[in-house]
Homo-oligomer: A and B are copies of this chain.
Amino acid sequence: MPHTRPTTHTLHFPELDRSITAQADESIFQSARRQGLRLVGACGGRGTCGTCVVRVTEGRVDATPASAVSDSAAIGPNPTHSRKKWLRACQIHAHSDCSIEVAPRSLAPVVRAEADTTGVPEMLALDASVCSHDITMPAATLADNLSDADRVLRALGQSNLTLDLKAAQALSPLLRKQSNDEHWSLRVRQRGQELIDFAPRASRTLGLAVDLGTTNAAAFLVDLETGARLASLGIENPQTAWGADLISRINNAVRSDTTREELRASAVTAINALAHDLCHAVGANREQIVDAVVCGNTAMHHLLLGLPVVQLGRAPFVATARGAMDLKARELGLSIAPGAWVHVVANVGGFVGGDHVTALLATQNRWQSCRTALVMDIGTNTEISLIHGGRILSASCPSGPALEGGHISCGMRAAEGAIERVSLEDGRITVRTIGSLAPVGLCGSGVLDALAVLRAANIVNARGRLAADHPDVQELNGQRVAVLAPGVHFSQDDVRAVQLAKAAIRTGVDMLLQDQGLHEQDIERFIIAGAFGAYIDITSGIAIGLFPKLPMERFEQVGNAAGLGVRQMLANQSARVRATELAATCEYVELSTRSEFQKVFLHHIGFPS
């Protein structure tokens, strides 16, 4: 046999029960990200945050003294004793197959229900699509040699059910394993008129809800027999390798069918990794997941489903399909029960997708009694719905990642060492970090605070210029920066990025109000959804003009409503019907092509005086 040099290595993570491949030219951090491994990396692999810490227990990597991290930084005050060094995953490359241990602090946490902050497991109203039946039947004999499927139907007392092909392929050996000489027993999963899965009697009945965001993919494991949320996990969407925002990814997909396929596979990989890790954390296996619901914006939706995006990325911005879809999970490549279906949440239009529909669904009891309400989900794309007079007008604003700390010079994700609050004491800038550690960078809530403080202190003027004469302002690499803490600054470019983001969002709000002939003071309830939205300081948001100046009691920060909505849809069929109706009720408003857009946008680019 001719010998060819392998260009990939296998990285094994025994504690996580996962193996991934490492390409020759990528860091271990990049390999992990590409394959949905839940390794934290707040700075995105730039080597600045020191959060992606691993220890190589077997195999060779190109570690240097610069890639090393101290024990205490890696794992806190109680280091284990090992001669293996802790290393930054983003600074090392595998030179052989490796076994790797991830520092506990560097693992994105699977939040198990019993360890939830509230201590009370969330119980969802249950009306599941899939029900389980436990049956026992006499074993086949010459005198009673019905087909196995007919025997199951007889035991169920039903006759007009269809049979999933993959379930059928597994049935006969499974029946004979779950048997004694006289009786066979089985757990049967039924979805509508179809038998989708057969399992041993003790098998659990689980569901997976997925919120596939542009930046983060979050998933939730639900017990479909009780309605209990068992565990939650969020990881970075590995599609980020093809661009932080939708338009970059669409452009990449349009340029090459191979890339489009890579983006599709990448989303599938993320969901499969989430399902794996959630099941691993609760001692289940992925074949016990018998139902799934996925929501995402229109671009995420199209890329995941392998739908073309070329027509989505250019005027008149047309989706291939908008309605809810029920697909065999295996058609999408999801590794759950072979016969399981996945419900893909309906989109609204433009880029306003199923994740906004689920946010509307989860907040419905908050807005439906109001005369006028607004639901906003702030993210890389910000979706806004204005609800008034029986209508829901919805729009999407390309706000970019700046508000979440992305593409900001010292930006990072919300992790230990991230500046989350900024204030002014005695005229000087003071900061608070997550975990009260030495400041490493700036996360989203810190970005808003920083700018509000800079503005309040007049370090930034009404047009967004950094003042030259403040002791906390310096010149760095040819531009002015406000120094927030040693090594962490906020630059003139960062100010501009936030200005563009907040102007885009505020323009969306204004134009929807205009369309309904309303004024911002008419908004009775201003609902801010999204994980990021939960942490921001509303006062700071008003101060920089991100939000209109309304009485504080009108604002509600409801956290990850999209996640709650998709869980509700997983547990409850009528929630699926309601979501589909909501999506059809929403009227999509395309802002970018409106003649007045530019004018309103310029009006909001500066700061309130």
Q: Mark A residues whose CB is within 8 Å of B.
A: 2-4, 140-142, 145-150, 162-163, 165, 168-169, 171-173, 176, 305-308, 310-311, 315-323, 325-327, 331, 347, 349, 590, 593
Contact = CB atoms under 8 A, between A and B. Distances in A.
Contact of A165 (B2, B165, B322, B325): B325
Contact of A326 (B162, B306, B347): B162
Given A148-B320, A168-B321, A171-B320, 10 more contacts: A2-B2, A140-B318, A145-B316, A145-B349, A147-B347, A165-B306, A165-B325, A172-B308, A172-B318, A172-B320
Nearest to A139: B316
A318 B145 contact: yes
Copies in the complex: 2
B145 A320 contact: no
Given A172-B307, A176-B311, A308-B173, A142 B322 contact: no
Given A168-B307, A325-B162, A320 B142 contact: no
16 contacts: A2-B2, A146-B322, A147-B318, A147-B322, A148-B318, A148-B319, A148-B321, A150-B321, A150-B322, A163-B323, A165-B305, A165-B306, A165-B331, A171-B320, A171-B321, A172-B318
B316 A140 contact: yes
Given A306-B169, A308-B173, A325 B148 contact: no
A362 B147 CA distance: 25
Contacts of A325: 162-163, 165, 168
Contact of A146 (B4, B168, B318, B590): B318
Contacts of A4: 2
Nearest to A309: B172
Which of A2, A306, A321, A326 has the most C-beta atoms of chain B within 10 angstroms of its own C-beta? A321
Nearest to A311: B172
Nearest to A140: B318
Contacts of A165: 305-306, 325, 327, 331
Given A162-B326, A165-B305, A321 B147 contact: yes
Contact of A147 (B148, B149, B319, B331): B319
A41 to B, nearest CB: 33
Contacts of A593: 142
Nearest to A160: B323
A169 B150 CA distance: 36
A150 B306 CA distance: 18
Contacts of A308: 169, 172-173
B316 A149 contact: no
Given A168-B307, A316-B140, A149 B321 contact: yes
A169 B3 contact: no
A48 to B, nearest CB: 40
A426 B145 CA distance: 55
Nearest to A315: B142
A322 B140 CA distance: 14
Given A168-B307, A308-B169, A316 B150 contact: no
Given A2-B3, A2-B4, A140-B316, A590 B145 contact: yes
Contacts of A590: 142, 145
Contacts of A307: 168-169, 172
Given A145-B316, A316-B142, A593-B142, A323 B150 contact: yes
Nearest to A298: B147
A349 B308 CA distance: 46
A232 to B, nearest CB: 28
A81 to B, nearest CB: 46
A320 B165 CA distance: 11
Contact of A149 (B3, B169, B310, B323): B323
A153 to B, nearest CB: 9
Given A2-B3, A4-B2, A145-B590, A168 B320 contact: yes
Contacts of A2: 2-4
